[in-house]
Amino acid sequence: MTEGILLREMMADPLLRSYCVIMLDEVHERTLYTDIVMGLLKKILRKQKNLKLIVASATVDAEQLYSFFNHNSSKDLTKDTAVIMSVEGRLYPVDIHYVKEPVPDYVKAVVDTVTLIHEHEPSGDVLAFLTGQEEVDRAVSLLKEQVVNNKDNLNLLVLPMYGSLPNSEQLKVFRSTPRGLRKVVVATNIAETSVTIPGIVYVIDCGFVKLRWFNPETHTDSLVVVPVSQASADQRAGRAGRIRSGKAYRLYSEADFNSLSAATPPEMQRTELSMAVLHLKALGIDNVLRFNFPSPPPARNLHSALGLLFALGAIDSEGQLTKPLGIRMAEFPMNPLYSKALMISGEFGCSEEILSIIAMLQVQNVFTKPSSGQNSIKARIAKRRFEVKEGDLLTLLNVYISYVKHGMSQDWCKKYFLNYKGLRRALEIRTQMSQLLKEFNVPIISCQGDVEKVCQCITAGLFPNAAYLHYSGVYRTVRGDQELHIHPTSVLYTLEQPKWLLFCEILHTNQMYMKELTVVKPSWLEELAPHFYEKTIDRDYSL
């Protein structure tokens, strides 16, 4: 059961009377809903005396959670309502190695370090940490080039590992390494705690991680590459000591390690909160500013979330959920921008299409990216089959329609370099959302290819994420005036720049990039969100 499912249980049974024991695992990840569930369970435990809660984690600050759940305000320790229990794990010694000077390119440094390990260290597999799929694929490609070009490296088995990798590819890292080979797994932080890869003796830590971070001044929620925490660095190093004594190579200095934060900030303190606030409102938490979070979020982030929900029509001027729109939007376990588009899709006569688009947006990396050169070219050509000038969301719609048309075939997905597991998941999500819309009496109808209706409905939901083409040649958000660029993976990247567009996500690397884009007309923003843009639409947007 996920935290989201437990929240839905709370909506039906606020005191969880049908449960006697609840166990929260992997709490160290401190996701948005882990913290919400802990805050709600603290309230429930005061009233549900028979309910027992077990909070399990390998790295979390136990003292902090002990203080949070302990209701005993006296000095009598026998009245404590929380207790800390420790289970010692078996971990072999791990030698930590640091660099003396910062590395200018940590992807290349990972590749060089793998080479040094392979040339000078005894047998044992290697696990290298990078921040995202693009970096992982680049490192894998460079290592495979070395395998081909350097006869001494022919016995390296190089494998990528990240969340959106097809299931068949992920399973390869868990197989025993063939005799005479050294396995090298290049991974994102999914390999830090979520999975255990057998045979690892050497770990390479780039020192960075990609996290979602919200800026209340610019109203942007973006993926940002930031330094890891000391807890994450130690967790990564510990992967080298599971089967025997190992070594961890940190691509940063010991002084840099000592300056790192002790732990990664919880999602609650660094991400956009509109979905969390909407669900708390649905659970009867009227004053979210006073809710007892394990790690309270910045008040500005909460105020920003309330403002966005008001603009979407999900809450009224008193902060109460609107009826029926706000109450129904809270039933969807997703970004309120998406649930708003779903709820009004019937009015635009395109609920079939919006269901498909929103379902596809819940899946990471619909298009697979082979690391080998020839297949990489074939994948790019295959993607063009689905691309349209209206943008990425309509392209995703084309993929879904074709997937269903071809019998949801795994072979068809393989032919066109599509993530079969992801598309199958999108189909499941779409079915669940369709059932909800039927319960809410939203007609399930198709616009029969009227693309403008689909784009207008998207605008009615995603209007807060509008950006215009500035005369300087870059894009700027209407809210916050943040400079943005089209991401190279977007279908719009190689086309003539549209004057206005909507984005679903921002990725912050060397620049701020917009992802999952839709071309729109400024008149739609004035028509569909006048309350939001009436004070700003007259600015010089070079319409």
In a domain, 195, yes or no: yes
Same domain? 222 vs 155:
yes
Residues 185 and 249 in one domain: yes
Any domain includes 232 = yes
- Average pLDDT (447-451) is 95
What six digits make up the tokens of 11?
């909506």
Residues 6+ apart with CB under 8 A from 418: 366, 367, 368, 399, 403, 412
The reply to whether 188 falls in a domain is yes
Q: Is there a single domain that holds both residue 176 and residue 215?
A: yes
Q: Which two tokens stand for residue 123?
A: 């047998």
Residue 534: predicted pLDDT: 62
**The domain spanning residue 188 has which CATH number?**
3.40.50.300
Q: How confident is the model over 16-52, as pLDDT tens digits?
A: 998 999 999 888 888 999 999 999 999 999 898 889 9
- Domain-embedded: residue 433: yes
Q: pTM of the entire structure? A: 0.87
Query: For position 151, what pLDDT does the model report?
Result: 65
Per-residue pLDDT tens for 263-294?
899 999 999 999 999 999 999 898 999 999 99
517 and 426 within one domain: no
Establish if 428 belongs to a structural domain: yes
Q: How far is CA 448 from CA 452, 453, 513, in A?
A: 11, 10, 32
* pLDDT of 543 over the 80 cut: no
Give the CA count within 13 Å in the CB-facing half-sphere of 9. 16
Domain boundary among 408, 423, 453: 453
Per the domain annotation, does 322 fall within a domain?
Answer: no
Nearest alpha-carbon partner for 249 in 98, 94, 92: 98
Q: Which of 393, 428, 453 is the last residue of a domain?
A: 453
* 404 and 481 together in one domain: no
pLDDT of residue 11: 83
**Number of folded domains in the chain?**
4
Q: Do 257 and 276 fall within a single domain?
A: no
Question: DSSP code of 319?
Answer: S
Q: Give the domain extent around 354.
A: 335-453
- Quick: pLDDT tens for 363-411: 988 998 776 667 888 888 999 999 999 999 999 999 999 999 999 999 9
Owner of token pair 């807060």: 464
Q: Tell whether the model's pLDDT for residue 510 goes beyond 90.
A: no
pLDDT value at residue 194:
66
Mean pLDDT of 299-306: 94
Beta strands in 61-179 (DSSP E): 94-98, 125-129, 156-161
Residue 537 has pLDDT above 70, yes or no: no
Q: Is the pLDDT of residue 432 over 90?
A: yes
Q: Is residue 308 part of a domain?
A: no
